[in-house]
Amino acid sequence: MIPRTNYTLGEEEIHDILSNERRKRALELLKNRTDPVELRDLTDWIAGIESDVSPPPRSLRQSVYNSLHQNHLPKLDRHGVIDYDPQRKVVSLRSKARRVDLYMEVLTPYGITWSTYYRTLSVLSLMAIIADQMEMLWFPGDYSVLIASIFLVVIALSTAYQLWSNNWIQIRGLLGD
C-alpha cells in the first residue's frame, strides 16, 4: 500500500485534488458505486468521456490508465480519499471523500449546496400541498394549484439565478477578474 497522510483535508489539498479532471471523474464514478472498481473499468469510463467515442481509442485508454495508475490514484490514496491497491489494481472510496464531494457541488450564496436547496424547496412544497388537501391550512378551499404554482415560480426563479450567477463567474474568469 501507498503511505497515507493522517490529517484532515484542508481546502488547499481539496482544491489541489480537484484541479485535475481525471481525478474529479474518478471520484464521480466511485461515489456512485458501492463496490470496489477495477482500474481498467475506471480507465474505460474516463477515456469514454474524454473521447466521446465508444469504445475510446486505445492510445487514449493507455494514456488514462498510465496517468491514473502512476499519478492520480496514488495521490488520492495518500490523501486518504480512496483506497488504491496497485497490485490488484482495485479502487474504492473512503469516508474522507465526503469532504471532497462537498467542494464538487456548487454552493448557494448562503453556503448550502444547490441540490440541498432544491430538495428542501421540493419537500416544503409537497408538505404545503398535502396540508392544503387535508384542510390543515387556516384558509378554506382548495389552493393546491396555487401553492404548486407559487413553488414552481420560486424554483424557476432560483434556477434562473443559479444559471446567471454561474455564467457570471465564468465570464469574469474569462475577463481576468
In this predicted structure, what is the pLDDT of residue 35? Answer: 87
In this predicted structure, what is the pLDDT of residue 174? Answer: 55
In this predicted structure, what is the pLDDT of residue 125? Answer: 92
Q: Which residues contact 85 (CB under 8 A, 6 or more apart)?
A: 1, 91
Between CA 35 and CA 15 the distance in angstroms is 26
Q: Going residue by residue through the chain (177 aa), what tens digit of pLDDT does each one get?
A: 445 555 577 888 888 888 899 999 999 888 878 789 999 999 999 999 999 888 899 999 999 999 999 999 999 999 989 999 999 999 998 877 777 876 776 666 677 778 888 999 999 999 988 888 887 766 667 788 888 899 999 999 988 887 776 555 445 445 554
| C-beta separation of 28 from 83 below 8 A | no
In this predicted structure, what is the pLDDT of residue 74? Answer: 96
Give the three cell numbers for residue 101: 464531494
pTM of the model: 0.59
Which CATH architecture does the domain made up of 11-102 adopt?
Orthogonal Bundle (1.10)
Q: Could you write out the DSSP letters of every residue in 135-169?
A: T-SSS-S--HHHHHHHHHHHHHHHHHHHHHHHHHH
Q: Where are the domains of the chain?
A: 11-102, 106-175
Q: Which residues contact 106 (CB under 8 A, 6 or more apart)?
A: 113, 114, 162, 166
169, with CB counted inside 10 A (0-12, 13-18, 19+), is exposed
Between CA 19 and CA 35 the distance in angstroms is 26
